[in-house]
A and B are shown apart, each in its own frame.
Chain A
Amino acid sequence: QQPVQSPQAVILREGEDAVINCSSSKALYSVHWYRQKHGEAPVFLMILLKGGEQKGHDKISASFNEKKQQSSLYLTASQLSYSGTYFCGTGYSTLTFGKGTMLLVSP
């Protein structure tokens, strides 16, 4: 089942913060986060695993609440390069992605 992302879109000025949420109706083994710029392929940001292990991007932080089956991606002091669509992915033997959150950072 597809995870639900919120908000659908965010517009920020450079330097502002944003939070993107991902929730699932099923128990989660892990949550993946990817960023996709227009016309390009999705790029891996990080994985949050049950038990607290994280793998990925040093400059982006995220949380994983296993009991609530939710994850949040925190983008602080946003830069122009953060613009793009963010996807969360969940699953075990396959990954199912949310519909995405579009983030636009303006100067």
Chain B
Amino acid sequence: NAGVTQTPKFQVLKTGQSMTLQCAQDMNHEYMSWYRQDPGMGLRLIHYSVGAGITDQGEVPNGYNVSRSTTEDFPLRLLSAAPSQTSVYFCASSPTGAPYNSPLHFGNGTRLTVT
């Protein structure tokens, strides 16, 4: 099994550009989520989904959109990139709809720089 796969690994954008970070999992997990990681801030939740067709906002959702049309895929869209969105982005999944009692499986991350 590949687990959680994120693409691309690295990306440089100019301010105002849009892009989509891809996340796919092959474990049939119900729960998927996006975090951003900035120095000294830990991991902050952007958006999450408890199943196909269901998404919700996390702690820092502004400037990002998500959709979950299939169980496997959970793309994160940056609508108009800003330098404040320079960060490392992690996708994570969990077997059940509520991750309190199951491990989060993380992808390898996407390092995004916005100039």
Which A positions have Cβ atoms within 8 angstroms of B? 2, 29-30, 32, 34, 40-44, 47, 49, 55-56, 87, 89, 91-100
Contacts and interface: CB of A to CB of B under 8 A. Distances in A.
Contacts of A98: 42
Interface in B60-115: 90, 97-109
A100 B42 contact: yes
B2 to A, nearest CB: 13
Nearest to B3: A41
Contacts of A100: 42
Given A49-B100, A92-B100, A99-B40, 6 more contacts: A2-B42, A32-B103, A47-B101, A91-B99, A93-B98, A97-B44
A43 B41 CA distance: 18
Given A42-B90, A98-B42, A47 B103 contact: yes
A95 B100 contact: yes
Interface of B: 33, 35, 40-45, 48, 50, 58-59, 90, 97-109
A47 B98 CA distance: 14
Nearest to A44: B103
Given A44-B103, A55-B103, A96 B50 contact: no
Given A2-B42, A100-B42, A56 B103 contact: yes
A34 B35 CA distance: 14
A32 to B, nearest CB: 7
Contacts of B43: 42, 87, 89, 97
A95 B104 contact: yes
A89 B104 contact: yes
A96 B50 CA distance: 16
A51 to B, nearest CB: 11
Contacts of A43: 106
Nearest to B103: A44
A100 B97 CA distance: 25
Contacts of A30: 100-101
Most buried by A among B33, B40, B98: B98
Contacts of B98: 92-93
